[in-house]
Structure 1
Amino acid sequence: MSDVKVLVLLGSLRKESVNRQLAELATEVAPEGVTLELFDRLGELPFYNEDEDGDDVAEPVRALRAVAADADATLVVTPEYNGSIPGVLKNAIDWLSRPFGNSALKDKPAVVIGSSLGQYGGVWAHDETRKSFGVAGPAVIEDVKLSIPSATFDGKHPRENSEVAGSVREAIEKLVAEVG
């Protein structure tokens, strides 16, 4: 397999979030030749405003778009906030959707995984993220669904759960298989 670069977008800003731990796990279990790069600056992005989107766009937006342009695929790892997408992630999707029809992620494969409280592990947020990303330009892989109830981890790092580690690796393998 040739080298594949995967952009990782994390829907939680919390340093100790289980979703950050899942992103760490993804980096650890990625197949040889696959590099995952977490863009850890979503909290720095200004709210999307078309009036601000031009040649002089804010530096964090330029950085996000540059990393996205350099990536072959995207892995989104996100919790669910109030039954939907965390605001920082939705805002990043809005910035990445421009220019409309020719975004940095246009036609590149994307997968959404994550964990949240409750018995469904963030299913609503993951479905909404897939829908929003699908409109924004990436080729969302709809059959990769990994929504893990946070109680699964019992306070431990996800890497300590071999079933979860295997499922995360499988999600990455399916994502990489879609890279053209």
Structure 2
Amino acid sequence: MNRPHYILLPVSPLFIAFSLLCSFLLNLLPWGHLIGVPDFVALALVFWGVHQPRRVGIGTAFFLGLLMDVHDSTLLGENALSYTLLSYFAIMLHRRVTWFPLITQATHVFPLLVMAQAVQLLVRFFASGQSPAWYFFLESVVAVCLWPVASWLLLAPQRRAVDRDHTRPI
């Protein structure tokens, strides 16, 4: 708790929309056959649910989940349900998680991502009777490893000063 907390600039709604669009486009790339590729939309939803819960909420998560359902050709509502629950629990933890260092934040985010994947697993199992391979939850591990990078990248526009003054410490 000895690290300084800097005053961040307000986040632009256009930047939030741009980051969610970029995460959606990253999910559209054809690397689904690779093992351990994270769900970038889930990572972005958790990040914005923790850092900006009033701007990115459950409705946004549901809409992006429906888009991912259509893209993945999965049961309609599978990703929407998991993203909605993910967003809900991220919003519930938002006051607590932001006070911790990035590694501790990642340990708080990891159960959320695993829970979202477990919901997808249960929906697929009850709908089709298929269970995935042993490396199904590797996505969450890779996404948690990307949490510090995502935090640094998505908070970068808020850290810059409006008018840079070298005599001011903030």
More helix by percentage: 2
More strand by percentage: 1
Q: Which has the larger radius of gyration?
A: 2
TM-score bracket relative to the smaller structure:
0.3 to 0.5
Give the TM-score taking structure 2 as reference length: 0.36
Give the TM-score taking structure 1 as reference length: 0.35
